[in-house]
Structures are given as structure tokens and as C-alpha cells.
Chains A and B, each alone.
Chain A
Amino acid sequence: MITIKKAKAGEALKDAVEKISGVDLSVCLQCRKCSSGCPVGKLTKSRPSEIMRRLHLNAGNELLESDILWMCVSCETCSARCPMGIDVAGVMDALRKLALSRGASKQEGNVPLFNKAFLKTVEVFGRTYEMAMITAYKLGTGKLMNDTEKFPTMLRKGKISLLPSLGGDRKTVKRIFKKTKQNKGAGI
């Protein structure tokens, strides 16, 4: 059985998650189908069904520290198999969004930094620019030497480009980023 400490006033996640994801958390049967199909469930401390239950029981910000938030691979197996049709992966997206806005701590691998580095290259160049993204991410995490042995081969095989692609409609992409930043308060 899962027991939890009730969230402090203003810290409960249930309503915010339901608003962002459009999911009705109360319909979860706790059948654990999401957990048994979850590819990272064998590696994380808590599994999707547990997150769903804790949310329903009115968990607060401590849930945003769960390791599954940033180990979840967004494979959507949970959503596809839920007998109640709950978009569990959508709940994970909502939790990640709340983890960022409520200042939850950084976790191993710092996925938010990776996402930020990835999106920054899109904002600037209109298309992904892996060299800049990888450099920014590596500098930010200090994992400078990871995968460097593969780099020469990848470069030689054209699996990675030295220069960014500049053929995209950068103007529209810049506008999208600007508007999205302005609308952050919209809550969707």
C-alpha cells in the first residue's frame, strides 16, 4: 500500500497535472500494466503506477524529485497499454514541466540541460546543430570525455556535421520561441 504525506498548501500537484495533461487521475485502477511494460521501470526507484497513485493521493513537490521523471524515455508504452486510456506519458510530460517551473533539483544526466541545449540550436539555426548542442551539454555537465573515442569515425562517416544547416525558415522558428516564452503563464 502507498501512504504519503499530504502536500503543503499550494504545493499539491494533482490539479496542475490534470490541467496540463488533460488526464483524470482518479480513474487509475492501479492495475500496474504501465509499470510492467515500462522499459526503465527495472532501473528506477519508483514506477509509473506508483507515481499515478501518489498524485491521486495529493502528493506535493517531493514527487518532482522522483528519478523516473528524467529516466522516462517517452516511449509511451504506458499510455498505449492503459486499460483506462490514461495518457500516463502525458502525465510525465506535465510533471517534467512542473519540475522545471517549481525548481526541482537536477538529476543524474541533467536531461533538462540536454533539452535546453538541443532547443537552443533549433532556436538559433532553425534546425538541430549537433556539434553545438553536444558541446554546450558536455560543458554544462563536465562529461567532456564521454563518447569522444567514437567521434573521429562518426565525422569520417558523415554521421555528424561540422557546420550548421542554414536552409531553414529561421524567422518563423525564432517567432515560435519568442511567443512560447511570452505565453508561459497560459498553463498548457
Chain B
Amino acid sequence: MKYAYYPGCSAESTARDMHQSTLAVAAALGIEMIEPKGWTCCGATAGHQTDRVLAAALPAANLVKIKDMGLDCVVNCAACYNRMKVANHEIATESEIRSSVCDAIGRDYDGSVKIRHFIEVLLEDIGLEKISSAIKQPLKSLKVACYYGCLLVRPPKVVNFDDPENPKSLDKLVKAAGGEAIEWPYKVECCGGGLSLSRTDVVVNLTDTILGMAKSSGADCIAVSCPMCQVNLDLRQQDIKKETGRDYQIPIVYITQLLGLGLGISSKKLGFNKLMVPASNVLEKVEVSSNG
């Protein structure tokens, strides 16, 4: 199985752990991931809050490169995934956007490259059965709150990822790895996204609500698939403690990190040492030493 893998900018900074664990899990399951040469930023929230053509042209610059490769595009960052899917949709359905985008990138593009989230590849192309049978170190008794956030599931008609109000994809993967996916209601609430620096107060308020619900639902950790969700939920626990006295100490791990543990990959290789709130409770439960 071979895919064009778009890492996204955060793979080189805030989400190196997501990037490392994605590649490690892919290798363990026999998935070949090829980075398109010269990939560039998708524009993220700043792009679509500024201009529709810019917001579609930045992803399109990458999608034409992937079209040349003749492969499906795999993305693991929920934000990039969302921007690429929305761009494809607008280019394919709105002729005015398409012509402006093609003029901007200097090439014709029709919005036809298939964009998949890495979770979709795991569930649809590999399958739960194969994943379960590859588990060497089951996530025994680990209670995981799966958190999907916004960008994986919305807008539902465009991204078409799982049930937008009660998605179960991450839960299925946690179960396949031998862990327990807890039932809780804030799977698709928003963490504050790109307001982390500009309106930290808003992000602190929203993450406090989500973390509180996960804690009272009995979670040992929260599994995410978006670098913005990871950073906000992980980094802002210090600020929440300072402002409210509530000290959650809940590790925020990428689903690929958890799956990697289950597949017997060392915690170091999966980037567990990069988390701000240490995941020692997770590693102890799975009986892996933090040195890997």
C-alpha cells in the first residue's frame, strides 16, 4: 500500500511526535508513505479567515504535485486534512474559485485527488482485524477519552468523516489495541483552535471544560488526532491550574502514539518524551519503561 503523505508544517515543530508516530505505525503495518517534494503550507485557519482564493490555492499547490504522483493523499493533521478537503470541494463545485485558483498556482487543477485521513487508511485499507492481530503489547485497562475536535468531522458534507456528532473511529482503534474507549459527551466540542496565542483566555476556558469532562468521566488520557487540539489541551493545563487551581494532569496523546505502543514500538520512537504533561501513567499501565 502506497500513499502520498502530506505531513503539514506542524510535523516540523509542535507535532513532531505526531509525525514520528505516524511514520512508525505506518512502517509497522506495511504502509508506504511518500512525501511530495516541495510540499508547502495549507494556509490553516489564517488562510480561510483572510481570503477564499488564497485558502483554496495553498492546498491546491500541494494537490497538483500529488496528482502528478498518481497516488491518494494521506494527511494526519486534522487541520490540513480539513483545508485540503474543503479546497478540493470548492475547486470541484465552484467554477469561479477554480479559475482563480488555477491562475494563482499557474496550473490547471480539478479537485480530483483523493484525500484520506491516516485514520481512514487504518480503518478502511488495513482493517481492524489486521491491526488487532498485530498488537504485541495490549493497552490493557487503559481508559482513553477519544477526542475528535472540529476539523476531522466538520463540515460533515465535505469531509464526510464518520458520524459528525458521535464519531467512533478513534474509539475503534483504541479497542483494537486492547484499551478501553470511555463513553463521554465532549468528543466534538472545540478546544479554541487557532486562538491559542491571540485569545489565550478563550482557549483556557474551552480546554478547562473539555479536560474537566474527561477527568470526571474517568479518563487516564485523551487521544487526539489534531496538532492544535494536542497543543491546546496539553500546554494550557498549566494556565488552567494557575487561574482556577484545577490541576488535571491528563496526558494528551496522539492516537498514533497509543497505537504504536500497542504495536510494540518504543515510547521514545513514538515521541512520548515530547508531551508537556508526561504520559507516565499511560506507559506504566502498558508496562513499557519510559526509556523504551
Which residues from chain A sit less than 8 Å from chain B, CB to CB? 20, 22, 39-40, 43, 70-71, 73-77, 79-80, 87, 89, 93, 96-97, 100, 108-111, 113-116, 118-119, 122, 126-128, 130, 134, 137, 146-147, 150, 153-154, 157-161, 165, 167-170, 172-173, 175-177, 179-180, 183-184, 186, 188
Answer yes or no: B61 CB below 8 A from chain A CBs. Answer: yes
Asked whether B9 lies within 8 Å of A127 as measured between CB atoms, the reply is yes
Task: Please judge, given known A-B contacts A110-B198, A111-B195, whether A165 and B12 are in contact too, CB under 8 Å.
Answer: yes
Residues in B whose Cβ lies below 8 Å from that of A179: 53, 57, 100, 103-104
C-alpha spacing A83/B88, complex, angstroms: 25
* Interface flags, B51-77, vs A, CB<8A=1, else 0: 111100110010001000000000000
C-alpha spacing A110/B57, complex, angstroms: 25
CB distance from B234 to the nearest CB of A (A): 9
Nearest chain A residue, comparing its CB with the CB of B276: A153
Residue among A77, A100, A130, A176 with max Cβ neighbours from chain B (10 Å): A176
Residues in B whose Cβ lies below 8 Å from that of A119: 43, 46-47, 50, 54
Answer yes or no: B178 CB below 8 A from chain A CBs. Answer: no
Residues in A whose Cβ lies below 8 Å from that of B37: 169
Asked whether A109 lies within 8 Å of B199 as measured between CB atoms, the reply is yes
Asked whether B46 lies within 8 Å of A157 as measured between CB atoms, the reply is no
Contacting residue for B105 out of A128, A154, A158, A176, CB 8 A: A176
**Can you list 5 contacts pairing A with B, beta carbon distance less than 8 Å?**
A122-B40, A137-B198, A157-B274, A159-B276, A183-B104
Residues in A whose Cβ lies below 8 Å from that of B188: 77
Task: Please judge, given known A-B contacts A73-B194, A127-B41, A188-B97, whether A172 and B61 are in contact too, CB under 8 Å.
Answer: yes
C-alpha spacing A122/B83, complex, angstroms: 15
Contacting residue for A159 out of B13, B44, B155, CB 8 A: B13
* Interface flags, B76-91, vs A, CB<8A=1, else 0: 0000000000000000
C-alpha spacing A110/B194, complex, angstroms: 13
Instruction: State which of B168-176, B200-208, B282-290 sits at the interface with chain A.
Output: B200-208
Tally of A-B Cβ pairs under 8 angstroms: 187
C-alpha spacing A158/B97, complex, angstroms: 38
Asked whether B44 lies within 8 Å of A168 as measured between CB atoms, the reply is no
CB distance from B46 to the nearest CB of A (A): 4
Asked whether B195 lies within 8 Å of A39 as measured between CB atoms, the reply is no
Asked whether A130 lies within 8 Å of B14 as measured between CB atoms, the reply is yes
Answer yes or no: B193 CB below 8 A from chain A CBs. Answer: yes
Asked whether B274 lies within 8 Å of A39 as measured between CB atoms, the reply is no
Which residues from chain B sit less than 8 Å from chain A, CB to CB? 9-10, 12-14, 16, 37-41, 43-54, 57-58, 61, 65, 94, 96-97, 100, 103-106, 150, 153-156, 164, 188-190, 192-195, 197-200, 202, 205-206, 231, 235, 238, 273-276
Nearest chain B residue, comparing its CB with the CB of A160: B13
Task: Please judge, given known A-B contacts A137-B197, A172-B40, A188-B96, whether A75 and B150 are in contact too, CB under 8 Å.
Answer: yes
Residues in B whose Cβ lies below 8 Å from that of A167: 38-39
Residue among B10, B202, B276 with max Cβ neighbours from chain A (10 Å): B202
C-alpha spacing A130/B12, complex, angstroms: 10
Asked whether B199 lies within 8 Å of A111 as measured between CB atoms, the reply is yes
Task: Please judge, given known A-B contacts A150-B238, A168-B38, A180-B54, whether A161 and B274 are in contact too, CB under 8 Å.
Answer: no
Across the A-B interface, give the 9 residue pairs with the lowest CB-CB distance, nearest first: A169-B38, A75-B190, A115-B46, A109-B198, A128-B9, A75-B150, A76-B154, A179-B104, A168-B40
Task: Please judge, given known A-B contacts A119-B50, A165-B9, whether A114 and B197 are in contact too, CB under 8 Å.
Answer: yes
Contacting residue for A75 out of B39, B47, B154, CB 8 A: B154
C-alpha spacing A3/B188, complex, angstroms: 34
CB distance from B14 to the nearest CB of A (A): 5
Asked whether A157 lies within 8 Å of B273 as measured between CB atoms, the reply is yes
Asked whether B51 lies within 8 Å of A97 as measured between CB atoms, the reply is yes
Asked whether A161 lies within 8 Å of B13 as measured between CB atoms, the reply is yes
CB distance from B149 to the nearest CB of A (A): 8
C-alpha spacing A161/B19, complex, angstroms: 15
Asked whether B198 lies within 8 Å of A118 as measured between CB atoms, the reply is no
Residues in B whose Cβ lies below 8 Å from that of A79: 154-155
